[in-house]
Structure 1
Amino acid sequence: MAVYLDNAATTKIDSEALNKLIETHKNNYGNPSSLHKMGVNSEKIYKLNLEYISNMINAKPSNIIITSGGTEGNNTGLWQIIRFKNKKKKILTTKIEHPSVTKYWEFLKEEKGIKVQHYGYYNNGEYRVDDLYEKIDDSTGLVTIPFVNSEIGFLQNIEEMTQKIKGISKEVLIHVDGVQGFGKLKIDVSKLKIDTMSFSSHKIHGPKGIGGLYIKEPDKFVPLLYGGGQQKNLRSGTEDIPSIASFGKTCEIASKTMDENYEKVKRINKMYRELLPNYIEEVIFNGNLEKTSPYILNLSIKDIKSEVLIHFLEMDDIYISSGSACSSNYKGISETYQALNIPQNFLDGTVRISFGRYSNEKDVKYVVEKIAKYTNEIRKMVRR
């Protein structure tokens, strides 16, 4: 049986969510914009499940739009700087954001004349918040903050940061990439001074191709997509009712199991941290467990190639990754890894182990033994 430890990339869909997806495809395929009974039934399903989704972050359904996932949500959040009509053309961000943020602000910079300025961070992944606050000025239109970094799992104090930013300038928009935190960590948007936040279904055992965006002020929102006026003209396109129903079921389950899952993966994360050094010499854990999401464990092993280790492990049906799956096609060293100043002879051996609802403690020793076995084999080849 597979030991799947790449849950930050995607997760296995929950059986109840899968059944809901199939059932709705079979029985409720009407267009929710249609006036007949099948259309009305689909609209009812849409509204009911929007409640489940919005409840995850203590938001009102009217403040949520359904998107195709985290990438669209992040693109749309950054797009909101357009509302200033060239009066505020500066985005404050970091180099350790998800590619759906970094690549989009590159587009805005080239096509819309937006100025991008980076604020700093320390080697442990914490933001240099004073540097951020000092760079906010009259030209600043938007600040981006990742709730949880997708490679290391760095956690930021969003509540404190957003209150401080709005205290400096109420006009500055704040976009949060909430994809790696939604459904895993408690998020209450009523306590956050944010304007938009992206989230995704397939990171929490829901279907792929669907996510959402929290919008604080829908009346000021600038849509990214135009067309038939669905979702109150905020995001046009026929709603995918089966996926929305499945996502709603996913959120319903996640809200009931969040605390239990959090404690379980924290124990598992801690077990790996305690066991691995007993089996492998010269291993570095990137990020402190107390300051990172327990769902992500990143480590560097000296004198190995992470890609080789990954392919060795898959022969035993064990699946981990070398970093963010969304950035694996880009050449060069990850900005996040550069930020940590990982020693060069450890850098190539950096891997990410990420947990989900189906991760369990009984697999830990087995996986550690296999990592140790293949690490020794790779080192023999490399050091020959």
Structure 2
Amino acid sequence: MQKPAVRPQEIYLDNNATTPVLACAAQAVQHTMQQCFGNPSSSHSTGIKAKVELETTRQLARQLVGAGSGDIVFTSGATEGIQSSIFSALLHARMSGKTGPAYTLLYGATEHKAVPQSLEHWNHVLQLGARIKAIPVDQHGVLDFEFIRTELPNTLLICTMAANNETGVKQDLVALQQLIRSVAPQVLWMVDCVQALGKMPLQLEHMTIDYAPFSGHKLYAPKGIGFLYVREGTPYQPLLAGGGQESGLRSGTENLPGIAALKAIFQQLKLKEDSVFQSEPQLWAYREQLLSALRRVFPDLVLNSDKPYIVPTTINFSVPGFASKDIMDLFDAAGIRVSSGSACSSKIPTSFVLNAMGLPLWRSQGAIRLSFGPAMTVGECQQACQAILALKTVVNSCCLVLSDASSTELQPVTGLVQLKHEDLCSYLLVSADTSEVIIIDAVLPLASRIAQLVQGHQFKVRAILDTHVHKDHPSARPELATLLADLLDKVPTDVLGWPLAAPLLQMGAYQLESLATPGHSPEAVTIVVTQHHQQKFAFVGDFILPGGTGRLDLPGGDTKAFRLSLRALDQKLESHTLLLSSHDYAQRFFTRWDLMLQEQPVLQQVLHTEATPELWLSDLQRQTQWLQQQAGHFCGVVEVCASDATAVIDKHQIAALIQQHPNLQIWDVREPHEQAAGALSVYLPDLVCKEVPLSALVQQVTEQQTATPQPLLLVCRSGNRSLLAAKVLNRAGFDLVFNLKGGVALLA
């Protein structure tokens, strides 16, 4: 398909994370830093002017949130406000003699992590010894009132939110107040109001909320400024003592430039007409327009939160078959900034908020948060919708969403495609000449993506194969056989999907042979692939792992059978053949026979001696003990080795690198949908960039094995995947591999 000719314009739709500073706020900051720069504690005229600015802003804040006789304390932001509130409440409990496990600290299960972590911290530091409990929520994200009612009599502090940062779900504060004060009139109550200001009305003087933290950078002010509301008569202990600023409630010279920015924001919020802040009906209209554009691109989109439970400025959605990273990478390549709203992990991120709501795992792992600010303009909304709609062609051409193939130019798919879900690997071997595909070791989380790719290209499915009966997950063969029924060869097969009447499988230039390799499991096979009479790949399942071997302590595991199978492979495989496993715990993508023996020298003894080596047996015993102690299922153990790029360079060093290596190749290792959404050539217009997505890296390695090695510069979105690819290539013998620090993100 035709690549974009110009750089995509940035469309920022992650306002729940932070917001740009409004022009009027930026001007107020600059004016205060240069003109009204006095210290509010100084008694001369310059200080008095600063003091007036400070107190004027405080009064505006008081009016906006309806503070009444409560205190408004300027802070560095929400985290400080949360810490101050929880510290004060827990210290008050300790000084009142309310300690020990008979007492409870409650917080909503979907609260920002700052709340439970602060509760744990101060409960430990103050040695309060109270139990900390999460209040469950229903599928809409609404707090469980019956749980609260049961726990309140022994509760010291209850923490809830006005509006959730991931889902936009708002809590009914009036109903909560009625419940809390009817059961426990004296309990202290903190409400996180960070996502509320400018999005929902607040009149705290009519409520019995004790603490309410706010943050400036969530509402167009700079980072590092916020304020805390404290109800009159509520216990409060300053975290910071010293100069006595803020009436002794928070010492330290006030952040007057940040406070001036708040003043400018507050003045806009108070305007009845011509304010930059939009009315609630207008915000709902923006939401509907954005949601309509999203559904045009992803017809199967599912909302994870919706009316009437939310504020209008947050859209949290998932798309079947997509992990959140897939959509984030796609959007980011097109210049659209959204968030997964998820806690990062070593595997696929999941949203603890959606998990607490009891939503299916696929929705939690695929959650995308699109959030716009209450000052969005009509033009900005239209621009965002146009940018989203432009992705329809991309997702169709890459078969991420099925559509009429005649309406778009499909991205070519040929050779080996390696798809990953966490540490699981699935493979497609594609013969472009004959429009055929063989699917190997498919896993259920990738079944939809595989099916759409095959259906989009209308590949004839020669076979859906497994290398063994998987111990830790079900095979996706039955699911794919149903999804691809119209394209699949309908022939009798064995338990692993191999056609019974075919000792060899011929597909275009590829020939596949199945070799029995029991050991990890009794029915396991290795599928050896030749192309033009040259061995290319061997699909080894869990018999061999990149950097390790499959475990032998599972039912059917057999050390003697393993040794015999290892010897059979030693006779069968060629040195350059790439070994492809169904697990890749160390992110190595593949191994080779020589690499395996080099990294696991004990296997040399297994191959060449009749007696089983004692060292190997002791290693197996050690690995077995470790594996049996793990919470999750592992099909083997790998030893992680250190390897890296030859050098990490930044964008300013590219010209010097090319001068030093005139034959330098630049590889874009982003996935095809990212490349289609935002071509690397628009950032490096004078250079030739080759598209080598990580899913095709193994195919590229086998194509390069007979070529003269050339220096490579790898580029991805952030520099992380390209560094991973550099490690893979280093291990495969590529000597000069450079990684671009920060990737496209710093080129943009």
Shorter-chain TM-score above 0.5: yes
2-structure distance, mates of 1:76, 1:15? 31
Q: TM-score, normalised by structure 2?
A: 0.48
- Give CA-to-partner distance per residue, 1:196-240, whole Å, 9 cap, x none: 101111111112110111000267311122221111111111111
Question: Is contact 1:51-1:60 (8 Å) kept?
Answer: no
- Give CA-to-partner distance per residue, 1:47-74, whole Å, 9 cap, x none: 1111112211011486100011111111
SS at match of 1:17: helix
2-structure distance, mates of 1:143, 1:344? 29
SS at match of 1:253: helix
Shift of 1:90: 2.0
One-letter identity of the residue aligned with 2:23: S
**Number of residue pairs the alignment of both structures matches:** 381
Question: Is contact 2:213-2:229 (8 Å) kept?
Answer: yes
SS at match of 1:136: helix
Shift of 1:315: 2.6
Tell me whether 250-259 or 145-154 shows the greater mean CA deviation.
250-259
Structure whose alpha-carbon radius of gyration is higher:
2
Equivalent residue for 1:73?
81
Tell me whether 142-151 or 327-336 shows the greater mean CA deviation.
327-336
Shift of 1:27: 1.1
Equivalent residue for 2:143?
127
Tell me whether 115-124 or 65-74 shows the greater mean CA deviation.
115-124
2-structure distance, mates of 1:104, 1:117? 13
Shift of 1:36: 1.8
Question: Is contact 2:287-2:315 (8 Å) kept?
Answer: yes
Tell me whether 260-269 or 347-356 shows the greater mean CA deviation.
260-269
SS at match of 1:366: helix
One-letter identity of the residue aligned with 1:74: I
1-structure distance, mates of 2:25, 2:157? 36
Work out which of the residue numbers 277, 281, 306 in structure 2 matches 1:263: 281
1:108 corresponds to 2:135: no
Question: Is contact 1:90-1:140 (8 Å) kept?
Answer: yes
Tell me whether 280-289 or 24-33 shows the greater mean CA deviation.
280-289
Work out which of the residue numbers 44, 50, 59 in structure 2 matches 1:42: 50
Shift of 1:265: 1.9
Percentage of pairs with the same residue: 26
User: What are the equivalent positions in structure 2 for 1:165-180 lying under 5 Å apart?
Assistant: 165-180=180-195
Equivalent residue for 1:366?
386
2-structure distance, mates of 1:69, 1:135? 30
SS at match of 1:297: strand
1-structure distance, mates of 2:61, 2:279? 18
SS at match of 1:206: coil
Shift of 1:123: 1.1
Aligned-residue Cα RMSD (Å) equals 2.3
1-structure distance, mates of 2:337, 2:240? 36
Equivalent residue for 2:175?
160
- Give CA-to-partner distance per residue, 1:135-176, whole Å, 9 cap, x none: 111x31111111001000111101221132012122100000
Say if 1:44 and 1:60 are closer, same or farther in 2 by CA, change over 3 A.
farther
2-structure distance, mates of 1:174, 1:212? 17
Work out which of the residue numbers 367, 373, 396 in structure 2 matches 1:350: 367
Question: Is contact 1:309-1:375 (8 Å) kept?
Answer: no
Equivalent residue for 1:317?
335
Question: Is contact 2:11-2:384 (8 Å) kept?
Answer: no
Q: TM-score, normalised by structure 1?
A: 0.92
One-letter identity of the residue aligned with 2:325: E
Equivalent residue for 1:20?
28
Tell me whether 123-132 or 17-26 shows the greater mean CA deviation.
123-132
Question: Is contact 1:163-1:192 (8 Å) kept?
Answer: no
One-letter identity of the residue aligned with 1:17: A
2-structure distance, mates of 1:378, 1:33? 64
Question: Is contact 2:296-2:389 (8 Å) kept?
Answer: no
- Give CA-to-partner distance per residue, 1:107-134, whole Å, 9 cap, x none: 1343332321222211111111121112
| Contiguous gaps of at least 5 residues in structure 2 | 1-8, 402-418, 420-448, 454-748
Question: Is contact 2:355-2:361 (8 Å) kept?
Answer: no
- Give CA-to-partner distance per residue, 1:276-314, whole Å, 9 cap, x none: 334323221011222111011100011123223223322
Question: Is contact 2:104-2:151 (8 Å) kept?
Answer: no
Moved over 4 A (4+): 327-332, 373-376
SS at match of 1:222: coil
Tell me whether 251-260 or 1-10 shows the greater mean CA deviation.
251-260
User: What are the equivalent positions in structure 2 for 1:288-299 lying under 5 Å apart?
Assistant: 288-299=306-317
1-structure distance, mates of 2:217, 2:123? 30
Shift of 1:368: 3.2
Question: Is contact 2:355-2:364 (8 Å) kept?
Answer: no
Which protein, 1 or 2, shows the higher relative CO under an 8 Å CA cutoff with sep ≥ 6? 1
1:286 corresponds to 2:304: yes
- Give CA-to-partner distance per residue, 1:13-59, whole Å, 9 cap, x none: 11011100000100122211122222122111111111112211011
Say if 1:373 and 1:351 are closer, same or farther in 2 by CA, change over 3 A.
farther
Question: Is contact 1:11-1:203 (8 Å) kept?
Answer: yes
Say if 1:69 and 1:375 are closer, same or farther in 2 by CA, change over 3 A.
farther
Shift of 1:370: 4.0
Say if 1:140 and 1:341 are closer, same or farther in 2 by CA, change over 3 A.
closer
Equivalent residue for 1:141?
156
1-structure distance, mates of 2:169, 2:69? 29
Say if 1:281 and 1:260 are closer, same or farther in 2 by CA, change over 3 A.
closer
Say if 1:128 and 1:375 are closer, same or farther in 2 by CA, change over 3 A.
farther
Shift of 1:271: 2.4
Question: Is contact 1:81-1:173 (8 Å) kept?
Answer: no
Work out which of the residue numbers 379, 388, 400 in structure 2 matches 1:379: 400
Question: Is contact 1:227-1:236 (8 Å) kept?
Answer: yes
Equivalent residue for 1:64?
72
Equivalent residue for 2:221?
206
1-structure distance, mates of 2:212, 2:198? 13
Tell me whether 110-119 or 289-298 shows the greater mean CA deviation.
110-119
User: More helix by proportion, 1 or 2?
Assistant: 1
SS at match of 2:308: helix
Shift of 1:338: 0.5
1:307 corresponds to 2:321: no
Say if 1:169 and 1:218 are closer, same or farther in 2 by CA, change over 3 A.
closer
Question: Is contact 2:105-2:133 (8 Å) kept?
Answer: yes
1-structure distance, mates of 2:244, 2:38? 17
- Give CA-to-partner distance per residue, 1:328-352, whole Å, 9 cap, x none: 5797532211023333344332100
Say if 1:303 and 1:143 are closer, same or farther in 2 by CA, change over 3 A.
same
Work out which of the residue numbers 76, 98, 110 in structure 2 matches 1:96: 110
Question: Is contact 1:185-1:258 (8 Å) kept?
Answer: no
Tell me whether 151-160 or 250-259 shows the greater mean CA deviation.
250-259
SS at match of 2:228: strand
Question: Is contact 2:318-2:363 (8 Å) kept?
Answer: yes
Say if 1:73 and 1:41 are closer, same or farther in 2 by CA, change over 3 A.
same
2-structure distance, mates of 1:254, 1:141? 35
Say if 1:277 and 1:246 are closer, same or farther in 2 by CA, change over 3 A.
closer
Equivalent residue for 1:225?
240
Equivalent residue for 2:63?
55
Question: Is contact 1:56-1:255 (8 Å) kept?
Answer: yes
